[in-house]
Structure 1
Amino acid sequence: MSLPSNSLLTAPVHGQLRAAPIPCDGHTMGRDSLLRYLQIKVHHLIQEQDWESIRVVGAYDRSAVVSRYEKTGKLFNVERPTATVHGRELVIKAFPGADYVQHYALIIATYLAMTGRPADAVTYQPPGHAECRAAVEELNLELNGDLVLVGWGLQHLAPKGGVWTRGPGYAWQRAEVAGHRVVYLGFLHSIWGDVAGRVVARLATLGARDVVYVGKVGALDPAIEPNMWLATGNESLVRGALVTWDDFFGDFAANQVDVQAGLHVTSSSILLENRDWLAKHSEYAFVDPEIGPMGEAARQMGIRFGYLHVISNNLARHYPADLSNERHGEVLRRRASLIDRIRSLIAGRLADGSTRNPGGAR
């Protein structure tokens, strides 16, 4: 995990890190949108009462107290971190990933500060490598050179009437598209940041040949209006180094009139994307936490990776749509049209004759 250098996190306390609130006045979302974003993320036990200490750990525990603010009306990515009460201490359990545990701790600390409550009791314990790997190894599918489609909007991308087979924290179904085997894989919990990279590595180990990630990115170009464009590319800045991967889409997606192609930068938390951060990365086109780790893992494992994302928000210019109002009707309508377009482009890529033959050699 790459720690920020702007004193957002203090020195370890009893093996933990203390999360300090983000200065909201300098954040790219703006104060009002940032607070709305936090309110839909923070566990109800934190919003409704005070605690002497709040500790965020890496653990996937659905037997703990589930947040009343979990998402509804979706098949995947509906689960929030859960909570257990130990007297006046609240332990928040987030899916094991260094980026996700840090991100959620910053969410809590910033929310408390913005609502006029003490934030100095928020700490987190970064999960170890073995713990993170073990959590992802719960994923177990039989793959044989398949294209695996992971991410957001899968219930609309998969064939209608298909049956989802459930595993611990995920579900999948198999189909044939343009003569190619495709597996649609969705997670109930978030696969934020480094978790997403481990998912790609696990899929490669299980026999996947290609992985495509469908999701949402923020634009850094002020001219790009949210929910009007798709984004793609094959290079990301990850921990200060540029990472390039063998792109599943080649030039196919980038040549489409409704697709923006550009250089991606990986950010471990939306909370860290303030105006100073934006100024340092102004030459990049897109930002999200997952694309870089996924592309890096695909390169290391010798498989292809591609992303085709909805541009959901803009960090460089204020637009009515941002990450705090994603459930509004007009946003949902525009995104439904873009999901249809993603489905068409993936099918077109599989049918264009330049992909590997199903079941063929790597």
Structure 2
Amino acid sequence: MRPDLVLAQGTDTALRAAPIAVDGHTMGPDSLLRYLQIKVHHLIQERSWHSIRVVGGYDRQAAISQHEKTGKPFNFERPTAEVHGHDLMIKAFPGNDYVHHYALIIATYLAMTGRPADTVTYQLPETALCRAAVEPIDLDLASDLVIVGWGLQYLAPAGGVWRRGPGYAWQRAVVHGRRVVYLGFRHSIWGDVAGRVVTRLAELGARDVVYVGKVGALSPEIEPNAWLATGNESLVGGDPVEWDDFFGDFAAAQTGVHTGVHVTSPSILLEDRDWLSEHAEHAFVDPEIGPMGAAARQAGIRFGYLHVISNNLARHYPADLSNERHSDVIRRRALLVDHIRDIIANRLAIRPT
């Protein structure tokens, strides 16, 4: 059994979050620590706690992390904290992958900063809670293309009106005669959460879902922030999952776009050198694409992804997940977002849907 899945002492439902072996991680210790420092709640960085438990719960009334990014309309909310004397409860948006991932972040950060990590446990949320967390999405999406994810404020038409719901915002447009809804979330839709979002969108009438985000490359020659990624297959739990691709062969045929088999990983912390060796023949990695593709296939709708390649696990490049706020990274990604917008529009223009 993996050490991070051992039952915590004296509990029936809490799992121990063991820190990873830092020396074997693909990011390297310096970049990894910088990555953790921008993710860990400030109350954990400022003082020690007798215990830290990560649970599923979307609670913006609890203590908000001072490390949340400012000036972003989407994906800026991070897990919140609730103080119980000398104990801390961390509330992450309900999803197994996200709760586990954030617990690994905390435990590894504590270990890297010389503090006890055996105080960290996590409790996976019940399935009913995970499903209920996405039910507030309530839009009429009959036959629409829904574009979900990152960079939406630049993909949507300039001057459009964003309307707000609980934890999300959306904008409607017509692109080459096709109704399009741009849907962004303030919180993270990490891993299995993203799959449940697709299921919910299909229930609301969506016919196609496109996910725009960021992936890591597994081939050493691919420079970060210079290419896009697409495809129609992912390894999920080691099993291949294919879906009816919204883009067909169109996106892969465009300049500056790589295609290949994606690998679904529930946490960046688990992507060490052994993991990379096991998956080196594949193309990309992220937590969401596989669950979203599987959910779309089950719902009988089309799904496509078109992502910025943000980092490379197989070779060191100056840009990685620890310095995404650097001005040169932002500039280069802005050009790629323009390319994504053009590819989606051209796909709608030249191929009947």
Normalised by the size of structure 1, how large is the TM-score? Answer: 0.96
Q: Secondary structure at the match of 2:18?
A: coil
Task: State how far apart, in whole Å, the 2-side matches of 1:314 and 1:231 are.
Answer: 12
The farther-off stretch of 106-115 and 5-14 is: 5-14
Deviation for aligned residue 1:12: 4.6
Residue matched to 2:80: 82
Residue matched to 2:89: 91
**C-alpha deviations, 1:301-321, integer Å up to 9, x for none?**
000000000000000000000
Task: State how far apart, in whole Å, the 2-side matches of 1:352 and 1:8 are.
Answer: 49
Equivalent residue in structure 1 for 2:7, among 11, 23, 40: 11
Task: State how far apart, in whole Å, the 2-side matches of 1:120 and 1:7 are.
Answer: 11
Letter in 2 for 1:270: I
**C-alpha deviations, 1:68-120, integer Å up to 9, x for none?**
00011211001010000000000000000000000000000000000000000
Q: Secondary structure at the match of 2:253?
A: coil
List aligned pairs for 1:100-111, cutoff 5 A. 100-111=98-109
Task: State how far apart, in whole Å, the 2-side matches of 1:198 and 1:291 are.
Answer: 12
Q: Secondary structure at the match of 2:251?
A: coil
Residue matched to 2:221: 223
Task: State how far apart, in whole Å, the 1-side matches of 2:35 and 2:139 are.
Answer: 34
Q: Is the 8 A contact 2:142 2:206 kept in 1?
A: yes
Residue matched to 1:329: 327
Q: Secondary structure at the match of 2:65?
A: coil
> Residues 28 and 82 of structure 1: is their aligned pair in 2 closer, same or farther, counting only changes over 3 Å?
same
Equivalent residue in structure 2 for 1:152, among 142, 150, 153: 150
Residue matched to 2:315: 317
Asked if 1:72 corresponds to 2:63, the answer is no
Residue matched to 1:360: none
Task: State how far apart, in whole Å, the 2-side matches of 1:128 and 1:288 are.
Answer: 23
Deviation for aligned residue 1:8: 2.9
CA RMSD in angstroms, aligned pairs only: 0.7
**Superposition misfits of 4+ residues, deviation over 2 angstroms:** 5-9
Q: Secondary structure at the match of 2:201?
A: helix
Q: Secondary structure at the match of 1:50?
A: coil
Letter in 2 for 1:8: D
Matched residue count: 351
Equivalent residue in structure 2 for 1:284, among 282, 285, 297: 282
Asked if 1:182 corresponds to 2:211, the answer is no
Task: State how far apart, in whole Å, the 1-side matches of 2:91 and 2:4 are.
Answer: 21
Letter in 2 for 1:127: P
Q: Secondary structure at the match of 2:274?
A: helix
Residue matched to 1:242: 240
Asked if 1:123 corresponds to 2:121, the answer is yes
Letter in 2 for 1:313: N
Q: Which ranges of structure 1 fall in alignment gaps of 5 or more residues?
A: 357-362
Asked if 1:262 corresponds to 2:260, the answer is yes
Task: State how far apart, in whole Å, the 1-side matches of 2:277 and 2:309 are.
Answer: 20
Q: Secondary structure at the match of 2:3?
A: coil
Deviation for aligned residue 1:11: 2.4
Deviation for aligned residue 1:9: 2.8
Letter in 1 for 2:298: Q
Deviation for aligned residue 1:6: 3.6
Letter in 2 for 1:238: V
**C-alpha deviations, 1:259-291, integer Å up to 9, x for none?**
000100000000000000000001110000000
Asked if 1:346 corresponds to 2:344, the answer is yes
Equivalent residue in structure 1 for 2:273, among 261, 272, 275: 275
**C-alpha deviations, 1:104-151, integer Å up to 9, x for none?**
000000000000000001000000110000001111111110000000
Task: State how far apart, in whole Å, the 2-side matches of 1:10 and 1:315 are.
Answer: 28
Deviation for aligned residue 1:213: 0.1
Task: State how far apart, in whole Å, the 2-side matches of 1:245 and 1:120 are.
Answer: 41
**C-alpha deviations, 1:149-191, integer Å up to 9, x for none?**
0000000000111111111100001000011000000000000
Residue matched to 1:27: 25
Residue matched to 1:359: none
Normalised by the size of structure 2, how large is the TM-score? Answer: 0.99
Equivalent residue in structure 2 for 1:200, among 193, 198, 201: 198
Residue matched to 2:60: 62
Deviation for aligned residue 1:7: 2.2
Q: Secondary structure at the match of 1:8?
A: helix
Task: State how far apart, in whole Å, the 2-side matches of 1:135 and 1:100 are.
Answer: 13
Task: State how far apart, in whole Å, the 2-side matches of 1:60 and 1:196 are.
Answer: 15
Q: Secondary structure at the match of 2:7?
A: coil
Task: State how far apart, in whole Å, the 1-side matches of 2:2 and 2:134 are.
Answer: 31
Residue matched to 2:134: 136
Task: State how far apart, in whole Å, the 1-side matches of 2:207 and 2:295 are.
Answer: 13
Q: Is the 8 A contact 2:52 2:88 kept in 1?
A: yes
Q: Is the 8 A contact 2:214 2:307 kept in 1?
A: yes
